[in-house]
Chain A
Amino acid sequence: MENTLILSVATFIYGFSALCFIIESVFNKKQFGQLGFFLLVAGLSANFAGFVLRWIESYQMGIGRIPLSNLYESLVFFSISGALIYSVIYKKFSIPVVAAITTTLIFLAMAYAGLSPTADSAITPLIPALRSNWLTVHVITCFFGYAGFAVSFAASVLILFTSNEIKCKNLDELNYKMIIFGFLFLSLGIITGAVWADSAWGRYWSWDPKETWSLITWFVYAIILHARYMKNFKRKTIAWLSIVGFMAVLFTYFGVNFVLAGLHSYA
């Protein structure tokens, strides 16, 4: 299938982009940062092209559905959202280490999608329970949220190692912006999921492990947003909480599928 070919090309481009940002961070070479950004945008274009092609191919196979319904497709979409968000904010927050971590995460997601036997790249028909327009809205909102949290994770990691006050303030602003972006989309993701569950399974909430873990993630970020209004709350504490939040995101995304069983066992 051609879509998987283009998507593997995108994986390599992202890999080189990450490499450029790492070189920029370590050797402080600005040119590599520019090249890294160029490659990131190129990777995003290839990634998006692969996504659209996969959509078209599914129609040619007579299945006809947006590619957002299994682990492989969700990882591909995660990379699109992550790369898109970082490309948009790059001008305002061009911090080499954050760029390096974010692009590495995007590269890893794509590489995992391409290589892992659990992420099957075949286009299969949707099981009846997933045939709904809510699927599209639900997956898009969730993954925009996850991508925002991924960038905030990158910023938080750097905050822990930064002592420079001005740099730290800038990172904190990026961290906060990505968290509120992620929080809005995670909320919308949970809500659309609940509305979908209500229309498909007749209950908006059933404490299924994936639902519960998305709520746990929501609570962690809610703690961060409220903690900012408390006196004596240090930036580093917020950064730690944001790292915990991203761990919760990862567990919601992968952990639940591999460790706990539930309604979401297909993706």
Chain B
Amino acid sequence: MNTNKRPGIIEIAGIKLWDFFASLKLTIFLFSFIALASVAGTFLPDRIGIMKYLQDKPVFLVKVFDKMELFDIYYSWWFVLLIIVLGINLLCCSFERLPGVLKIVLKKPLPPSIHKIETFEFKKDFTINKNIDQVKELSKKFLKLKRMKTYMLDSKTNFSCAGDKGRYTRLGVYIAHLGFLFLIAGGVAGTMAGFSGVIDIPENETSSIVTLFKNRGKIDLGFDVTCAKFEIVKYENSHTPKSYQSEIIFNKEKENESNGLVKVNSPLKFSGIKFIQSGYGRVVEGKVKISVFDIMTDEKKGEYQIEQGETIVLPDGKTKFTLFSFRPNFQISGMNLGETFIGFILADNREIPVALPVSTPGFDKHRKGDFYIVPDEFKTKYYTSLQVNKDPGVYIVYSGFLLLSLGIFVSFFTRHSCFYIVVESMENNSSNVFCASNSNKNKSLNQEILSDFHEFLEK
């Protein structure tokens, strides 16, 4: 093989590409960019909000921003791409540096020569009035005291040993990085294969349709969810709610019925899908009694029992009224009207929306029609609002959490330290001691351990 052959263009490109992905500069660039994009994301409005604000007639800049998915940054293709590149960067960095670290981790320290001791940054030498065997025993004791593993080399006039501990802590940074990769993988898996939405079920009713968040439509769960009961628990002697809960029954074909309690802070899982108590409200049950009055005389002209969605003809024989919906907290130009029925009047082929707040019976007079309508009697019941989530990546993410915490702890708060001793036998029962200490962090501790050793031998 010709070793002098110059590398081809593809090889150079390959090396350059590898260097690019294995560089710390890229890591810092990605960190900065992702952080800045996240900052922007917290200040930019969301898409639904801005479209509503502009009444669906976006100006040019908004269109550009929308194309760049700036109103939904965290789920935009480029943000996800940045995070994936960060993952690749992390992998390449690890592959680049891991072999060197493994070499240190797998290699036992060698008992040194005096010459070798001279090369260390933290070292000490002294003469002591003890013979070589005594020093040897004390050295072993010292290393044991420091919880170090000892490796020895012996001859008649010389004794050399090395001790170390925490070699595997050098892998802490890889544990942390693996954890971070797990977070990325789990996050991506969750976004790709999961969903998140809400389901509202009135007491004693059943539903299987989930409205997805961020206007992503509706999906059918494939099984029935029934709310058997909804309950609010209050603090003693107070109206502040302490907790609320729903009794839920799941009904899936070919499977047994399953039921349980969904409470605040205590979700329920069924068929890999999580149900979380997220809110509640009131809906009308059965028919609503309404009265119709003459606007001039305040005389009652009629009484009706109607259901939501039902249309009636008013006493003049031509105006129609449709009861549309019930809102527990209806807001109109910043004012809260409280429990309010919403309906439509159809007169002369014109449809006029009507708000009928329960607490202000004469409110409909403001419409200035021939009649005004007052809701009289009705019953309400609770509905429960459950958040529905499916996230197949959550276990990967949790493993990531564990690895990341463990990895950060090990890589910053534990250390790999070595201690080297060489003893020369001298005349009249004394010895020359040469020692050195080394560690991968907290280097100032090395000086301390050398003094400790000296004191230990003198004792």
Count contacts on B: residues with CB < 8 A to the other chain: 48
Complex Cα distance, B404 from A222, in Å, reads 13
Residues on the B chain within 8 Å of A205, using CB: 187
**With A131-B243, A131-B264, A199-B265 in contact, do A226 and B31 touch (Cβ < 8 Å)?**
yes
Residues on the B chain within 8 Å of A227, using CB: 28
Q: Which A residue's beta carbon lies closest to that of B266?
A: A199
Is A6 on the interface with B (CB-CB < 8 A)?
A: no
Interface 9-mer from B32-40, B136-144, B351-359: B32-40
A125 touches B242 (CB 8 A): yes
**With A191-B405, A200-B265 in contact, do A125 and B389 touch (Cβ < 8 Å)?**
no
B34 touches A219 (CB 8 A): yes
**With A219-B34, A222-B31 in contact, do A202 and B41 touch (Cβ < 8 Å)?**
no
Q: Which A residue's beta carbon lies closest to that of B278?
A: A201
Complex Cα distance, B35 from A132, in Å, reads 30
- Of A128, A187, A198, A216, which is within 8 A of B35 by CB? A216
B412 touches A184 (CB 8 A): yes
Complex Cα distance, B372 from A92, in Å, reads 81
Write out, one digit per residue, whether chain A residues 126-150 have a CB within 8 A of any chain B CB (1) or not (0).
Answer: 0111011000000000000000000
Is A204 on the interface with B (CB-CB < 8 A)?
A: yes
User: Smallest CB–CB gap between B239 and chain A, Å?
Assistant: 11
A204 touches B28 (CB 8 A): no
Residues on the A chain within 8 Å of B235, using CB: 62-63, 125
A223 touches B28 (CB 8 A): yes
Is A188 on the interface with B (CB-CB < 8 A)?
A: yes
Complex Cα distance, B39 from A203, in Å, reads 21
**With A183-B412, A194-B401, A219-B31 in contact, do A203 and B391 touch (Cβ < 8 Å)?**
yes
User: Smallest CB–CB gap between A69 and chain B, Å?
Assistant: 14
Count contacts on A: residues with CB < 8 A to the other chain: 41
Q: Which of A207-233 contact B (CB under 8 A)?
A: 207, 209, 212-213, 215-216, 219-220, 222-223, 226-227, 229-230
Q: Which B residue's beta carbon lies closest to that of A222?
A: B31
Complex Cα distance, B241 from A264, in Å, reads 18
A201 touches B387 (CB 8 A): yes
Residues on the B chain within 8 Å of A41, using CB: none
Residues of B within 8 A of A (CB): 24-25, 27-28, 31-32, 34-35, 38-39, 41-43, 74, 187, 196, 235-238, 240-244, 264-267, 274-276, 278, 387-389, 391, 394, 397-398, 401, 404-405, 408-409, 412-413, 444
Q: List 20 A-B contacts (CB under 8 A).
A: A62-B235, A62-B237, A63-B235, A131-B264, A180-B412, A183-B408, A184-B408, A184-B413, A187-B404, A188-B405, A195-B398, A202-B387, A202-B388, A203-B389, A204-B397, A212-B38, A219-B32, A219-B35, A223-B31, A223-B32
Residues of A within 8 A of B (CB): 62-63, 125, 127-129, 131-132, 173, 180, 183-184, 187-188, 191, 194-195, 198-205, 207, 209, 212-213, 215-216, 219-220, 222-223, 226-227, 229-230, 256, 260
